[in-house]
Amino acid sequence: MWRELVRFGLALAVLAPGVGLAAGTAIPTIYLYVNDLTSPGVLLRSEVSDIGDVCYQVDVATTAEIAVLLVNTTAPEGIDWFAAETFARNGIGKAGQDNGVLIVVSTDERLWRVEVGYGLEGVLTDSFVGRVGQDNMSPAISAGDFYTGVYNGTVLIGQQILDLYAPPPGNHPPPDLIVIDWKSVAIGVGILLLIGVITKGKVFLWFGRIFMRGGFGGGRSGGGGARGGF
């Protein structure tokens, strides 16, 4: 009996994260602000930080959220559907303001897409984001310089938001870049106590991802934006 319980506890510890990964394979869960999900990754950690700093400054100044996502492929649905669904499921932008924008780059398909929230459609028009993509992102990315292409696109989109978007009145708390996943904490502690009692403290346990990047605010996409190739 005790051996079966140990095996069950260890199976939960090892398999639980895999279940979540499998469920979210098609449409990823993304976090503030830059998510390089390519394999192998095309951005260095310092490059992710540089782009994220731009997004953070825009968020602090205006409450608008810029999300950047790099993937190998958006097949089979395609980049338009993929961008819209990723935007919707992650709620990019603040709830009630819908002031989010998602920049997606698909390396294998050699495509990019900028998805714009309802609240930014007057600021980030289809023609504007189309020019940013074609003139500032595509040339660098097509030469293999993903960092420069994505960074330049993010800066220009961020500057447009800073110049033209009026944040709602009132004081706005800074975004939570790091949050604690209390569900993972509770599961980890419960499994630890169970197996710790059974094995008299001799236990190896996978604790899961307790500390994680903060999520987005619950905004909606208006379907506007542009896409292009490189």
Q: Rounded to 5 degrees, what angle do the CA atoms 219, 18, 70 make?
A: 45
228: its two tokens: 């292009």
Q: How do the residues of the chain divide into helix, strand and coil, expressed in percent and rounded to 5? A: 45, 20, 35
pLDDT at 187: 52
The pLDDT mean for the chain works out to 81
Q: How many CB atoms lie within 10 A of CB 121?
A: 16
CB atoms closer than 10 angstroms to residue 79? 21
pLDDT class for 18, splitting at 50, 70, 90?
very low
- pLDDT above 90 for 12: no
pLDDT surpassing 50 at residue 201 = no
pLDDT tops 60 at residue 202 = no
Q: What is the pLDDT of residues 32-85, one digit of tens each?
A: 999 999 999 999 999 999 999 999 999 999 999 999 999 999 999 999 999 999
Mean pLDDT for 163-191 is 66
Q: Which of these ranges, 14-28, 36-50, 121-135, 150-164, has the smallest mean pLDDT?
A: 14-28
Domains of the chain: 2-20+178-213 (no CATH), 31-174+220-229 (3.10.310.50)
What DSSP string runs through 72-90?
Answer: S--TTT-HHHHHHHHHHHH
**Nearest by Cα to 59 from 34, 95, 93:** 93
pLDDT at 6 over 70: no
Whole-angstrom Cα distance, residue 148 to residue 176?
27
Residue 181 has pLDDT above 50, yes or no: no
Helix spans in 93-179 (H): 126-131, 138-142, 146-164
Model pTM score: 0.73
In this prediction, residue 147 carries a pLDDT of 98
Partnered with residue 101 across adjacent β-strands are: 66, 116
Once rounded to an integer, what is the mean pLDDT over residues 133-150?
98
d(C-alpha 182, C-alpha 188), whole Å? 10
pLDDT at 136 over 50: yes
